[in-house]
Structure 1
Amino acid sequence: MALHLYSSNRLEILADAFSRLVTDDPLPPMLPETVVLQSGGMARWLSMQIAGKTGICANLDCPFPNQFVDRVFRKVLGGEDFSKVFDRDILQWQLMKVLPPLLSEPGFEILKRYLQGAGGVKMFRLAGRLADLYDQYTIYRPEMILAWERGAESNWQARLWRYLQGRDDCQRGVIHRAGLHGRCLAAIHNGTAAGVFAQGRFSVFGLSSIPPYHLDIMTALSATVDIHFFFMNPCREYWDDIVSGKRINKLAVGFNREPEELHLVEGNSLLASTGRQGRELITLLHERGEWQEHDLFVDPVAEGSGATALEMVQADILHLRSGPDGECGLTGGDGSLQFHSCHSPMRELEVLYDQILKMFADDPDLRPRDILVMMPDIEAYSPLIQAVFSVPEEGVAIPYSIADRKLGNEGVLVRAVQDIFDLGRSRFEVSRVLGILEHDAVLRKFGFSGEDFARIESWLADVNVRWGIDPESKVEMGLPGTVDNTWRQGLDRLLLGYAMAGNGSRVFADILPADNIEGNESEILGRFIEFTEKLFLFTGEIRQQRDLAGWSELLADLLQEMIEPEIDRQQEFSLLVRVIASLAEKQAGAEYRELLDFDVVRSCLDHDLAQGGLSTGFLTGAVTFCELLPMRAVPCKCICLLGMNEGAFPRIGGAPGFDLIAANPRLGDRSKKNDDRYLFLETLLSARKILYISFVGQSNKDGGTRLPSALVSELLDGLKPCRDQAGNGRADPVLRHPMHGFSRKYFDGSDARLISYGKDGYRAASALSAGVPAAPLLCGDLPLPPDIGNEIDLQSLLRFFRRPAEYFCRNRLGLEIDRNGHDFESSESFSLGGLDRYQAGSWLLDKLLSGSAPDDSLDLLRLSGILPHGSVGRAESARLRDEVSAMADRVKGYRSAANAEAEERVVEAGGWRVTGSLIADCETGRQVIYRFAAITAEDRVSGWLKHLFFNCLPGKSEERQTVVVGIDKTFTLDTVDNSREILAELLEIYRDGTRKIVRFFPKASFAFAEKLAEKGEEAAFARAKEVWRGSDFSRGEGGDPYYKLCFRETDPFDREFAEIAIRFFGPLLEQGGRR
């Protein structure tokens, strides 16, 4: 039997060699072909390569290195049932059990100080770090573990390990990998393993790093089976001893010598800087046996053809060249090496989208499957990828898939469950509870629709639920146990409102019934109360301590009662079920039966969920987006790297200060930094036509320059000699993109490298270049509505003139802007202001005018939950009572002579029939309009329309007087002789407003008309624009979302605006009005 080493700079050449091995020397049909790989993505790629060569790939067994070694242990050591006590997850809970009693012993002071005053979560996380280290020690330092067991060391880590080993449920040196490693090697060397492997060979493919632990087992097996190692070697020359320039300079400083005096060779600077991991593997391979070597190198530069920049860089690495050898061959414009600097990750994706379209245009043979896009942090880019590639412009859709997403961050079901977990330690704010209900899986479980959710929001706003389950929950938080604004008060009001009509004044058992539950809404209310009661119950349950099995049972029940996944979310739901069930398995495996707070269990679940990912998305035939991971770079025509920012890549691994591996590094040790450097090198070698590198190189705040990853800078530095030789050394190889996709630079041809296929961007750039103003919502008038007729109710007319743009959008276009629903407060009121004060004052004013006693009405307000609590509430109530009482007296003073009640009336004007209800007395000729607020332009609009309508009504008195009463002022409108003609003219404006957006804005139009009479037209337009724009202290009228939609960036103040303002407010201002 022998060791075979296949070396090539191209992974597909190694795949061909493996395919030939499998086909030329096939195993018996029922035996699987075992090939050790490092990732599932590599397994998928290799199987596709074999199928492409042979027509089929079947019975291919692809274990990871640890899985393979575990199989060898079971085969060689007689199939023993090895205990899992020292598996990482089980070991963490074992440490949770043994650490507390050890903290008081000598030698563990460092841990005692670290955990001083800490809760269980900090202990759990420390146990996790220690479990990780011990797991690594058994693989990377097995001899140290065995020496500890012999008592060779007295440090606290060694003592802690011996304490774990000294338990009754352990057998020394057997149940962990360090002990199994030695026993297995001894069995292989003494010949007891001969004949246990029926395959006759094992293969290792594409690994760029492997610990000596695994290599020892694999090379030892060569005594009984053939071992075929397929290694992607970037260089065909001897390069074990090359040293990076940075390292040479550092050594020169240390030895106080010139760099040349050290006689160290850099070879190729990029290979020396990034290839450390590969050099160490080559050294380890050569130290562990005599290999039959098979060199399969291919020169990237084909003879007789012009080399691209990418091919020349790859060839320099292959031949260990430090720079251009003779004619460099780089023209600098072939597009094989691209560097793109953008202002944000979003712009990186937008630029990539356009550049991929350009690649398809330039190469008709290029397919989506030929493009691989990698980035250091797929989680940060995943929503941006979907935003850009899922909403393509007309007819341009690029198929794509996203791999390596972690369900702990991406899963909608996971987020729903985590929101429920978060609720347990919250104040039960109404926004949090509704946030849970808003998850689709929760809505589906309780049978709610979107309309049901909106109705529930409205109910909760009406009954003023703010936070807190009930008075008892407030007391547990150390706060006064008041029922006001709690869930219990709000739900009781809703239930009582269904049982009895409160009419805003009937109280039962100190509960004011809600008046907004009608008919079959009771079913919705019942399901909502079921939802809240389950949350209340869960909140109480998680405040109790349980063992892991108890938590597993509780959380499994919660999952079944609160979540109903869609069909396409079953994989994610299964992960949740498995992770929760694993709690009980960990208890059984570690025999850990201590009672735990939920915070510890939550930390465990978050860790496990973060490790669980989607197993789909890699190499699916579409453009693949994935994370930059070791052994992930597979050959592709085009490889794109995004997010290559300084500090983001290579990633820095933060080892704890007590990590003994980091303190004494050896060949074969894992290093996140070295892994990433070698991954960059593999990526560079795996690109066949284009290597596309993108980074955030410009600030989107001030436009300042930001540096790319150090690896990108090194690649750029390595290209400079070739650019100099090609005569374009001054040209910046980095393409710096504008901040926006609608920049004119993409379309004016000033830089041929800047391209965009975006039609919207082109239109925007053209408009900006030509100075074309933004178009309004409508380019022309609509026909009159077919059902307009000649009848209208007064309330519709009032709604139109108060907000003409909103009326048009809602009633003609069917457009309704979401104003973000209800803005729920997360705390009780500490003062009565804003909308709450207006609503409370308006309600109280109506009560006083109907004859109710002020104090009785204030008690009803308190029960409604709108008033502040305690002494603040009493003081606010007194102030409100005094203010409302004073306004009620003013209103009564005007109404006493009229004694009017609301009646339905009809008026005919200009061929229109207007119906409406007024609180007016036609016999005495007076109507009184009041509102518990300061008089605004909209009040003047409403008052004027109602006054005109009142003037048109018949009666004994020919005088007609309308009194508008507000908090700050009162104004009076007297008889209008031509009221019917004015009303008819305003009805024509309404008719126009049903087919177009009329330029009437109550505030700006009133300001214009008022200033026009005083200062003239120029001052009037200026004043209208001030009101429209607003100031730093108040929002202008133009900030209304419907005005923004209808007028965009256009100027609404034209002659039509002036004419309508004069037509409406002119007669009103001529009348004057008395204070």
Structure 2
Amino acid sequence: MGGVLYTCGNLGALADRLAKDLQQEVADPLQPIHIIVPHPLTDAWLKRRIAQQMGVVMNLRGDYPGHGFWRALASLDPQAASVHPIDRPELELLIALVLLTAGPDDVGFEPLLEYCGPRGPRYWRRVWQLSQQLSESFLDYEQHMPELADAWVEGRLLDPEDPTERAQAELYRRALPRPEASRLSLAGYARHALGRLLPPREPVPRLYVFGLSLFSRLQLSILAAVARHIEVLIYYAPPVPVVPSPWSAHDDAARIIDQWSRTTRATWAQLQERLLDPGLFKHTPLPMACSEAGETSDLRRIQRALTGRHDGGAPAGDGSFRVLSSSSAVREMEAIRDDILQGIEGDASLILDDIAVLVADPEEYAVAARSVFSAASPPIPHNLSGLDPGGSSAYAQAVEALLQMASGHLDRGAVFSLLGNPCFLAAGGFGRADITTWRSWAESLSVYHSWDASIRRERGFGASDRFTWRQGLRRLRLGQVMDESALDEGAFAEVPPFRDLESGDREAVAAFDRTVEGLLRSVASWSREGFERPAAEWTADLLRLLDTYLAVPPDRPLEESVVAAAREGLLAIAEHLGDAAVGLSLVSDALLARLGTAAAPAGRPLEGVTIARLAMPLCLPPFRVVYLAGFNELAFPGSVPRMPLNLRRTRGRDDIRQLWPPDHHRHLGLEACLRAGDALRISTLGRDLQKDEEHFPSPMLAQLMRLMGWLDADGELPASLSVQVPLHASSRECLDDASPSRTYSSWDQILGWRWRAQREGADLAPPLAQEVRLAAEERLAVRRLDSDLAMPGRERERERVPLGRLSKFLEEPLAEALRRHLRIKEDPSDGAAVEDREPLQAAFPENYNLHVGALSTYVQKRAGEGAAVTLAEIAQQDYLSGARRGRLPEGPIGKVDLDHALSQLKEPGEWAEEYLAGLSKAEYAPRLILGGAQSREVPGVRVPATCLPLEDGRLAELRGSVEHWWFGHNEVHALCITRSQAPRTQIGPKGNLIPVFPRTVFLPFLMASALLVNDDPEARARIEGKVLFVDILPSPGGENTRGIISYGFGPLDRDRTASHLRDLCRDFLDPTCFQLLPFTPIADDHDAWSKVVDGEEASGYRDLILAVIEEDQEKQPTRWRMPERVRLLRDLLAFVPDDPLAVLRSRFGPILEALVKEGE
């Protein structure tokens, strides 16, 4: 078949070419299309870019190289069903098992066994460290030195005199499974599958490879073999031209480009050798994207110089390129955060999704970035693409603390690091107050370390129970039955009773005693020196401890993935190590290594500011603003790590095909410079005052500035390009209007400092006072209530803030916010207090049961007064029982405010009326897209089609299977459905408000949208076949009931949509959990459609209403039961006395009545 190799420096042009190729191939939108991509960031950007070209993208799946190349081979291998890939953690366990079972009689293992040493505490850690290093080396050999791995499999050595190679070869042959095994590595599978590939019997989609900046020799071999049977399309984006050319007459330019583009030249040499020269692939270069010569910004001049068109000249200082110097990593991120906020405020077209922060040292900057961006006011949406946010998983922290205790660390700090963990609190049902009391008891009882005297003696202390947990618990228990004042102090020996005010609670003492003693007794004996057990017994006991003492808190559902990873890790250890006697340290290290890659997700790629690691295999997507943080000498580009056991690091250093981390890092730095659209910021660490260390910028920065000729005689950057970030955001230099550093200071700190100066009597200049007043009004802007649903473009109401009130607000912001939340319209004058008799009118609680009870009563009595009375009774009962005390609105005598409750019941109709009145016919069309809706104006806002939770996770599977990215007319007016009984708004990155409506008022909106659209031919033409509604309701309970999927759509293009939706439900949903509703087509012609809207044909809207099908045990015919939401909707339309929805009621009232009558 062959393939095509597209090359272009413009990643967008390659993505557009891919979109055209996809349009030629796609016949069925539900047919999955797999694209091999290097990173989730590239995957998310590519889907968004293709969606901009195609309108809607369905079933576009990004596969990472390991899984993607395996899948490409399996699609052509007739024996693929019997083989499964082996991952790196499993390979580490296989290597550890060989090292554990190897003895002195095994020839060739001498260097490895000598490193591990005799069995003891260090032996187990050295075995695991060696397993990790050798597993990485083996995978490295298979990818970049396949001739070495092939020789070992055949029993040969490339260097028979090297004892290291002999030991590794023997270990490689023993550890990796045989060819007949069911689990193989990618190289092992390719070694045997490449010779038995057959042409596919059925048409197979093309193989797409996008964004890989580095190809291994194994990957190229697979591509060459697959291209003989199916068409392969490779989209390669080198930042500089791949064909050697005279870059420039400038010597520095030629040298820098030659050094920075070594990865490009090496990759191109291998592509030429293995794909192009044999004639398997055709090279199709696309136009290279370079900045125009007329663009004079500093960033454009840098980009032209790096592509060989250096034009010289002094910097313009236009702000497109700057170098920041800070005193710490946290201050770096604060400066970047404030610069982002000012950029968003100054450029209305800039959104957070267009900003990337690339860090050189992920271990240091991941924690700093998350804390700084989350602590902003308001928090800045961000995602950590490929970074471990450091402490993102509470369950992983709890497991680590438990393992530390099991290894002998029973000091007070280590124990309470576990006791205070949210997962431990959730498992035991404890609260923070309980842990605080326990900690005070431990401190008062002088508990420091060890469980008892025997453990204390083994650690080198005296044979006494002093300062141990056992002595402390005994003193606490004695204090419950004895009084130390009644006896002589000497009678108690070393166990005097302990009693304080909190220990009078016997239940609290019992809980503390039971929990601590049960936990510490279980792990105290595990830390004895030389203690070994079979790995299966270790994992069984650890699983028991995890199930007993740890659980997922209700507010942290993402921890479930970490729990699953922990259980899978322990089960894998038991499976592979089995009855091998090992120490606890080996099991702990293996489990923690597994959890290190299973941290809780920290945001979706390209949603908010992207914070990614600079040094990773990533073809960087284009961003408008790029920050390079931690761009210092030791961190970037780094050096070749010393790995004496890695044979590739000690051989072939002069081979152009051999690439090392610094080469690839320079390549990524070159990509970052060329992919920045509007601005590039390089942030470095200057002098660290805390450590008293001087940090120097990366040599790549000095090379770049020498290339541009922007260094002065002293080798320093000009003031227009360099910014010294102040030590603290509240420093006075931040407040100097003439200082360029003011850009990178915190606006909140500036505002607070200036108003402190105002209170102290300092005079402010009139322009400055006006600036502060405007900023204060922005902070104290009284937004319209949520029920008003302010839409984008609608001017928000603001209230003028007097200086006295502003000063008071700065002192007590929480009190002011509380009063505003409680809807106190008139604030007391300065110095006056709220009278005790004044009631605080709170919002009516969003309680589904109260609404249902009130409306059901109205249905029975046909009177609004009866509904109010029932509502009052239910609310009063809840209040008296204490279930919702503090949430219900109270009057002066503690009863429920009935007038306020009635007003709340009237609001749904008012919400609908106001929303429909605020939009023209041509503007309103609900965008309810299966899987999610994506806005082009606000790409950071993803609106799911439904927010109804499913316990079995089928909804998540559905979203992941078919993902839509929607671009069209009026994307901002997206509509969601939630369980909430009150509308709310979702704030996008630009401050615009996205309305979110409750289910009880959803149907009128859907019907009204159909009415408005079909009355306007122009609006109708804009949404032809694109109005899709999909709703999923979980099973109402019981073994014989099933959830139902209902769907409805616009009049045009219905056949294809119906067919696809039926296929989707059949392919991706478990038929034991869901059943598809019978589908009644909606008329195609406009006249028939108008009859449906006018209420003459009610059957057309049957599919727009979710019904529940109930089947009994005798398999009786299905009977219909009208859903609760239809009754609520009918009652809602009839309940509102002022009749704000007269049009809707007159149009759709007969339909609702007919449906209710049919259901009953």
TM-score by length of 1: 0.64
Q: Determine if contact 1:42/1:634 at 8 Å carries over to the other structure.
A: yes
Q: Determine if contact 1:617/1:624 at 8 Å carries over to the other structure.
A: no
Q: What is the CA–CA distance in structure 2 between the aligned matches of 1:692 and 1:310, rounded to whole Å? A: 10
Q: 2:218 corresponds to which residue?
A: 213
Q: 1:121 corresponds to which residue?
A: 125
Report the alpha carbon displacement of residue 212 of structure 1 after superposing the two structures with TM: 1.7
Q: How does 1:606-685 map to 2 (within 5 A)?
A: 606-628=592-614, 629-631=616-618, 633-665=620-652, 666-669=655-658, 671-685=660-674
SS at match of 2:430: coil
The answer to whether structure 1 residue 110 and structure 2 residue 97 are counterparts is no
Instruction: Select 1:600's aligned residue among 560, 581, 586.
Output: 586
Q: What is the CA–CA distance in structure 1 between the aligned matches of 2:380 and 2:72, rounded to whole Å? A: 45
Instruction: Select 2:232's aligned residue among 215, 227, 242.
Output: 227
Q: Determine if contact 1:548/1:584 at 8 Å carries over to the other structure.
A: no
Q: 2:477 corresponds to which residue?
A: 495
SS at match of 1:401: strand
The answer to whether structure 1 residue 297 and structure 2 residue 297 are counterparts is no
Q: Determine if contact 1:149/1:162 at 8 Å carries over to the other structure.
A: no
Q: 1:878 corresponds to which residue?
A: none
Q: 2:402 corresponds to which residue?
A: 420
Report the alpha carbon displacement of residue 82 of structure 1 after superposing the two structures with TM: 5.8
Q: What is the CA–CA distance in structure 2 between the aligned matches of 1:468 and 1:503, rounded to whole Å? A: 29
Paired amino acid for 1:131: S
Report the alpha carbon displacement of residue 640 of structure 1 after superposing the two structures with TM: 1.1
Paired amino acid for 2:568: A
Report the alpha carbon displacement of residue 205 of structure 1 after superposing the two structures with TM: 0.3
SS at match of 2:212: coil
Q: What is the CA–CA distance in structure 2 between the aligned matches of 1:181 and 1:167, rounded to whole Å? A: 18
Instruction: Select 1:181's aligned residue among 187, 190, 196.
Output: 190
Paired amino acid for 1:144: L
Q: 2:952 corresponds to which residue?
A: none
Q: How does 1:1010-1021 map to 2 (within 5 A)?
A: none
Q: What is the CA–CA distance in structure 1 between the aligned matches of 2:383 and 2:223, rounded to whole Å? A: 36
Higher-Rg member (1/2): 1
Report the alpha carbon displacement of residue 389 of structure 1 after superposing the two structures with TM: 2.9
Q: What is the CA–CA distance in structure 2 between the aligned matches of 1:764 and 1:168, rounded to whole Å? A: 65
Instruction: Select 1:147's aligned residue among 147, 151, 164.
Output: 151
Q: What is the CA–CA distance in structure 2 between the aligned matches of 1:619 and 1:743, rounded to whole Å? A: 35
Change in Cα spacing, 1:407 to 1:564, as seen in structure 2 (3 Å) is farther
SS at match of 2:508: helix
Report the alpha carbon displacement of residue 519 of structure 1 after superposing the two structures with TM: 8.5
Stretch deviating more after TM superposition (166-175 or 126-135): 166-175
Report the alpha carbon displacement of residue 349 of structure 1 after superposing the two structures with TM: 1.8
Paired amino acid for 1:617: G
Q: Determine if contact 1:15/1:50 at 8 Å carries over to the other structure.
A: yes
Q: 2:724 corresponds to which residue?
A: 736
Report the alpha carbon displacement of residue 409 of structure 1 after superposing the two structures with TM: 4.5
Instruction: Select 1:388's aligned residue among 372, 392, 413.
Output: 372
SS at match of 2:581: coil
Q: What is the CA–CA distance in structure 2 between the aligned matches of 1:481 and 1:575, rounded to whole Å? A: 41
Q: Determine if contact 1:403/1:615 at 8 Å carries over to the other structure.
A: no
Q: What is the CA–CA distance in structure 1 between the aligned matches of 2:188 and 2:397, rounded to whole Å? A: 42
Stretch deviating more after TM superposition (688-697 or 306-315): 306-315
Change in Cα spacing, 1:4 to 1:233, as seen in structure 2 (3 Å) is same
Change in Cα spacing, 1:520 to 1:585, as seen in structure 2 (3 Å) is same
Change in Cα spacing, 1:269 to 1:617, as seen in structure 2 (3 Å) is farther
Q: 1:558 corresponds to which residue?
A: 545
Paired amino acid for 1:363: D
SS at match of 1:542: helix
Report the alpha carbon displacement of residue 124 of structure 1 after superposing the two structures with TM: 1.9
Q: How does 1:271-286 map to 2 (within 5 A)?
A: 271-286=257-272
Report the alpha carbon displacement of residue 660 of structure 1 after superposing the two structures with TM: 1.5
SS at match of 1:649: coil
Change in Cα spacing, 1:347 to 1:616, as seen in structure 2 (3 Å) is closer
Report the alpha carbon displacement of residue 366 of structure 1 after superposing the two structures with TM: 0.8
What does the per-residue CA deviation read over 1:671-703, in whole Å, with 9 as the maximum and x for residues that have no partner? 322221111111112111011111112332598
Report the alpha carbon displacement of residue 759 of structure 1 after superposing the two structures with TM: 4.3
Paired amino acid for 1:600: L
Q: Determine if contact 1:206/1:232 at 8 Å carries over to the other structure.
A: yes
Instruction: Select 2:445's aligned residue among 450, 454, 463.
Output: 463
Q: 2:749 corresponds to which residue?
A: 760
Q: Determine if contact 1:75/1:196 at 8 Å carries over to the other structure.
A: no
Q: What is the CA–CA distance in structure 1 between the aligned matches of 2:69 and 2:456, rounded to whole Å? A: 57
Change in Cα spacing, 1:166 to 1:656, as seen in structure 2 (3 Å) is closer
Report the alpha carbon displacement of residue 523 of structure 1 after superposing the two structures with TM: 0.8
Q: What is the CA–CA distance in structure 1 between the aligned matches of 2:116 and 2:191, rounded to whole Å? A: 36
Change in Cα spacing, 1:702 to 1:171, as seen in structure 2 (3 Å) is closer
Instruction: Select 1:202's aligned residue among 200, 207, 222.
Output: 207
Q: Determine if contact 2:90/2:572 at 8 Å carries over to the other structure.
A: no
Q: What is the CA–CA distance in structure 2 between the aligned matches of 1:207 and 1:371, rounded to whole Å? A: 22
SS at match of 1:503: helix
Q: Determine if contact 1:35/1:204 at 8 Å carries over to the other structure.
A: yes
> Structure 1: which 5+ runs fail to align?
246-264, 788-1075
Q: 1:58 corresponds to which residue?
A: 58
Q: Determine if contact 1:277/1:675 at 8 Å carries over to the other structure.
A: yes
Change in Cα spacing, 1:632 to 1:438, as seen in structure 2 (3 Å) is farther
Q: How does 1:311-460 map to 2 (within 5 A)?
A: 311-318=300-307, 320-321=308-309, 323-324=310-311, 328=312, 331-392=315-376, 398-406=380-388, 409-426=391-408, 428-460=410-442
Stretch deviating more after TM superposition (39-48 or 178-187): 178-187
Report the alpha carbon displacement of residue 769 of structure 1 after superposing the two structures with TM: 13
Paired amino acid for 2:141: Y
Q: What is the CA–CA distance in structure 1 between the aligned matches of 2:211 and 2:760, rounded to whole Å? A: 58
Change in Cα spacing, 1:62 to 1:668, as seen in structure 2 (3 Å) is farther
Report the alpha carbon displacement of residue 763 of structure 1 after superposing the two structures with TM: 5.5
Q: Determine if contact 1:266/1:272 at 8 Å carries over to the other structure.
A: no
Report the alpha carbon displacement of residue 440 of structure 1 after superposing the two structures with TM: 2.7
Query: How many residue pairs get matched?
Result: 752
Q: How does 1:843-992 map to 2 (within 5 A)?
A: none
Q: What is the CA–CA distance in structure 1 between the aligned matches of 2:316 and 2:570, rounded to whole Å? A: 58
Stretch deviating more after TM superposition (91-100 or 699-708): 699-708
Q: Determine if contact 2:543/2:570 at 8 Å carries over to the other structure.
A: no
Paired amino acid for 2:152: W
Change in Cα spacing, 1:648 to 1:163, as seen in structure 2 (3 Å) is closer
Q: Determine if contact 1:6/1:229 at 8 Å carries over to the other structure.
A: yes
Change in Cα spacing, 1:72 to 1:102, as seen in structure 2 (3 Å) is farther
What does the per-residue CA deviation read over 1:310-350, in whole Å, with 9 as the maximum and x for residues that have no partner? 222223334x23x21xxx57652121112111111122122
Stretch deviating more after TM superposition (480-489 or 133-142): 480-489
Q: What is the CA–CA distance in structure 1 between the aligned matches of 2:344 and 2:248, rounded to whole Å? A: 40
Q: What is the CA–CA distance in structure 2 between the aligned matches of 1:739 and 1:163, rounded to whole Å? A: 54
Q: What is the CA–CA distance in structure 2 between the aligned matches of 1:494 and 1:530, rounded to whole Å? A: 12
Q: How does 1:1022-1061 map to 2 (within 5 A)?
A: none
Q: What is the CA–CA distance in structure 2 between the aligned matches of 1:112 and 1:563, rounded to whole Å? A: 38
Q: What is the CA–CA distance in structure 1 between the aligned matches of 2:831 and 2:498, rounded to whole Å? A: 43
Change in Cα spacing, 1:526 to 1:54, as seen in structure 2 (3 Å) is same
Change in Cα spacing, 1:407 to 1:417, as seen in structure 2 (3 Å) is farther
Report the alpha carbon displacement of residue 122 of structure 1 after superposing the two structures with TM: 0.6
Paired amino acid for 1:313: I
Paired amino acid for 1:557: R
What does the per-residue CA deviation read over 1:696-749, in whole Å, with 9 as the maximum and x for residues that have no partner? 12332598863211222222222226999xxx9855632222323233333334
Report the alpha carbon displacement of residue 22 of structure 1 after superposing the two structures with TM: 0.7
Q: What is the CA–CA distance in structure 1 between the aligned matches of 2:524 and 2:36, rounded to whole Å? A: 50
Change in Cα spacing, 1:493 to 1:132, as seen in structure 2 (3 Å) is same
Same amino acid, percent of matched pairs: 22
Q: Determine if contact 1:404/1:614 at 8 Å carries over to the other structure.
A: no
What does the per-residue CA deviation read over 1:936-994, in whole Å, with 9 as the maximum and x for residues that have no partner? xxxxxxxxxxxxxxxxxxxxxxxxxxxxxxxxxxxxxxxxxxxxxxxxxxxxxxxxxxx
The answer to whether structure 1 residue 693 and structure 2 residue 693 are counterparts is no
Q: What is the CA–CA distance in structure 2 between the aligned matches of 1:112 and 1:525, rounded to whole Å? A: 51
Q: Determine if contact 2:539/2:571 at 8 Å carries over to the other structure.
A: yes
Q: What is the CA–CA distance in structure 1 between the aligned matches of 2:593 and 2:262, rounded to whole Å? A: 31
Report the alpha carbon displacement of residue 273 of structure 1 after superposing the two structures with TM: 2.2
What does the per-residue CA deviation read over 1:535-562, in whole Å, with 9 as the maximum and x for residues that have no partner? 2232146345333332222222111211
